[in-house]
Chains A and B, each alone.
Chain A
Amino acid sequence: MAADDTLLLTRLLAGEQQAFKELVTTYQSAMRAVAYAIVGQRHVEEVVQDAWLSVVRHLGSFEGRSSLKTWLLTITANSAKSRYKLNRREVLMDDLPSPHGSIDDDRFSSADGHWLVAPFAWHQDTPEALLTQDELRDCLEHTLLSLSELQSSVLLLRERQGLELEDICNLLEISLSNVRVLLHRARLKVFATVEHFEETGEC
């Protein structure tokens, strides 16, 4: 078990409130993303609540064979699956229209596959500089909300929570090739949004 996990676990087992606050602050976003992927927006809250109760109940039997994070996310996925399940066949490859489109085929010459409209050079070259523009932040939020629940969860679990693709497959019970496709489509849409904003200054 990682040293950080061991220390936190000891404090959690002792019922220290501050330790639970750290746990919730650190991991609840990732848990929400997992729940969102499996049950959709409507049931996220109840699934996360269920998961927390289950976490407390089973804390004593956590053996550290996985990281604390993986353990929490697995409990969340199980809570989600035991309560509700979206019809996966219908939603898995849903590709909803995004506010600024994507980087799709019409950006390339059908004759030789070269760029017809080359990628626009962004004005900013750090995340911090990009994010100082409030409008871009809103614009990104808007695009993230336009993605299907599964697409956006996979993107957030990968880019914000830093999960490995295999962990995402296991938690959400989808194949690696599906995770790769979901992630790629989501990224191209977000890319198109930033590009649009950098080019026009508007959302």
Chain B
Amino acid sequence: MLTCKEQVARSSDYLDGQLSFREKLMVRHHLLFCPNCRRFIRQMRLMQATLKAMPEQPQEGIDALAERLATQRRDDSP
């Protein structure tokens, strides 16, 4: 059986689907019996979702850039 430390070391690969079938089963087996590691994985997923939900930095100059690119495109095309 994996230790908690080994489970944490495999956690990103587990979340990204990078583990072999056998290793995935070992992680699942550990999680089944370990509430601390279940919490860890749950909170890792929450952290991932939080990064995704963070507001974008406001981008500046989009209109000017779009105008420049559109003009360039029209000039390029015959």
Contact = CB atoms under 8 A, between A and B. Distances in A.
Contacts of A126: 46, 49
B32 interface: no
A80 to B, nearest CB: 18
A131 B16 contact: no
Most chain A beta-carbon neighbours within 10 Å: one of B56, B57, B67, B72:
B72
B62 A21 contact: yes
Contacts, number: 134
A150 B49 CA distance: 21
Most chain A beta-carbon neighbours within 10 Å: one of B16, B44, B50:
B50
A183 B17 CA distance: 13
Contact of B72 (A53, A113, A162): A53
Interface stretch (A65-73, A91-99, A184-192): A184-192
Given A17-B66, A180-B18, A190-B51, A56 B3 contact: no
A125 interface: yes
Size bracket of the A interface:
35 or more
Contact of B67 (A17, A158, A165, A195): A17
Contacts of A159: 48, 51-52
Interface residues of B, number: 43
Q: What is the interface of chain A mostly: helix, strand, loop, or mixed?
A: helix
Contact of B73 (A59, A119, A195): A59
Interface in B28-59: 36-37, 39-40, 43-44, 46-57, 59
A119 B66 contact: no
A114 B69 contact: no
Contact of A56 (B54, B55, B73): B73
B56 to A, nearest CB: 6
Nearest to A103: B8
Interface of B: 3-6, 8-9, 11-13, 16, 18, 36-37, 39-40, 43-44, 46-57, 59, 62-63, 65-67, 69-74, 76-77
11 contacts: A15-B70, A24-B62, A29-B56, A56-B69, A115-B4, A128-B53, A131-B50, A131-B54, A187-B12, A191-B43, A195-B43
